Structure 1
Amino acid sequence: MKKFALLLCSTENQMFAVGNVLIGFKKYFSLDEKDYDIIVLVDTINDKNRSALEKIHKNIIIKKFENPFSKSFLNSVPGSNWSFMAFARFEAFELIKDYEKLLYVDTDTLIKKDLSSILSFNEKSIYMAYDILNNQLDYFVNNGGSNFVEKYKDDKYDLNRKIFNSGIMILTNKLHNGSKIKKWCYEYCEKIVGTDLFVINLAIQEFNLDIGVLDNIYNYTGDYNHLDNVYIIHALGKFWESSPYYEWDENNKKWIEFGGEEYNSLYIKQKKEMWNKILWWIPSRRLRERLRIKIGKKYGFMWRI
């Protein structure tokens, strides 16, 4: 059993963001490479990006993630707003069986320090930080609307609990029944037509998971003026769209040097403007918004219903 694994999940069009996270991780991480794995789950990946990732980490494992969802789920508002790759984080619950610790991170993050400190997290089976909005779970059902869940009717879960953010998760080998938890998450998403964030928060209750509250230095969502003790920045906006930061730019230059495909902000801006003009002529607002989401996924930018 290896000591550690880092897990990322992404579509092809945001592989530059995966590369950025991995460059930052490699820069600081002090554990010997033979003792950990890098796992990247993808919908598809071209040779150019694969080669760039392999230049960053020799011990990288790149796996294709097969869409597990029905067409009706993917066409729902929760299913449309997020790529199905966002739900691939459920794989972490099963992957932990091969490691002492596993860290899942979203791709809109930046690693700032040596994460070997995570290896000492031994008391709980899973660690997550509270969501920055400080809302309770009933926000998804009563205030969040259909963006997060469409068919939730259960009364077995406490919706007065604070929301944990699923963008950073640390799992330890104290977590058991990982395969069962993963299977339940996929199935419950379909049942209630809900997002990964909502379902993971309910899985904590369903399986009575022993959860530790992660310090926000591992999931920092503030401004860039107080970063002395921060390990991971989780940008409120995308670094490449609305939240620029010098170290992300430095990593991005490395990614391009390795031969990875570059994020082209001008290209994206022009695509948004072009499609906004085209979609304006569609009389149905709902159809217009659904098309905006699909187009955004194709070109690698975010449009929400």
Structure 2
Amino acid sequence: MEELQAKHRKEQKDLQSRITQKKKQASKKTRKGVNDECEKLEAELKERQAEEIAVLNGEVDEKHVEPPSEDLEALTIDEAEINGETKEQDDGEGHASGPDPVSEGTQSQQGKKPNRAKARLARRAAEQEELVCQAAAEAQNLPDLKTQERDRMLAATKEKGLKEKEVRADGHCLYSAIADQLTEADVSLSLGAVGTNDVPAYKVVRAVAANYISQHPDDFAPFLEEPLEEYVHKIRNTAEWGGQLELLALAKSYSVDIKVLQDFGRVEKIEGSDSNNDDDDEKTIWLAYYKHGFGLGEHYNSLRKAGAG
């Protein structure tokens, strides 16, 4: 009964869509005829659905139920056909190709016609599944950017006599990597400006970056798309990722040069020390920057000297 009721609701909905379309297309001369036709369709549908319910309840023999008329049968077609697409293919001679007489006879013997709308939906589902499978196959053939970047970075790190110290990919990675580098270089994280008691190292570094940017607004405000105060708040109190501006603020704050090793062995230098010697290791800290290598996407790790602990 639930299946039949669902079928009836769809038929009624489709009929209303068809009637609405017919009435919109009607002119003053054809409006009366269209209204009469619509009333006839509604009456036929109502009568047939009542008979189908009676058959299901055993009140009427199924052979006494009249099959739907051509117009009512069309109501089971999907919404694309209601919006004006052709229901059947033309046979090339101006006649619509109807059902095969042999198969139609077999279906009448069985007392049930196939639901063409369901068959059409099944075909569409199969087509969509095939597209998904094709996309998955194409994805397997794409280069593994993560693995390739990782291999190149490890080779570049080894070439420069460095080794990687991974930090957690949690939004604080830049600050955690800076904290690791400064600790290795025996540089105080707090600079006396913030307390360090029971405060994670990355939070201390965040506070230092926030303080520097707020104290030098003219150097940073032109590059921001939001008020400076809001930007500084995110640095100090959230897990907002750090980038170029924060690296500059930290290089200036700690008076160090920050070298960022990137894919294909590129090195970007952010100057913060007053040393003119590019090889001054005491004034230089190293980070590794990944674009694809970690779960959150962009990521920073700390790069220590190969012989360090």
| TM norm structure 2 | 0.22
| TM norm structure 1 | 0.22
Decide which structure has greater helix share.
2
Structure showing greater radius of gyration is 2
Decide which structure has greater strand share.
1
Tell which has more relative contact order, 1 or 2 (C-alpha 8 A, sep 6+): 1
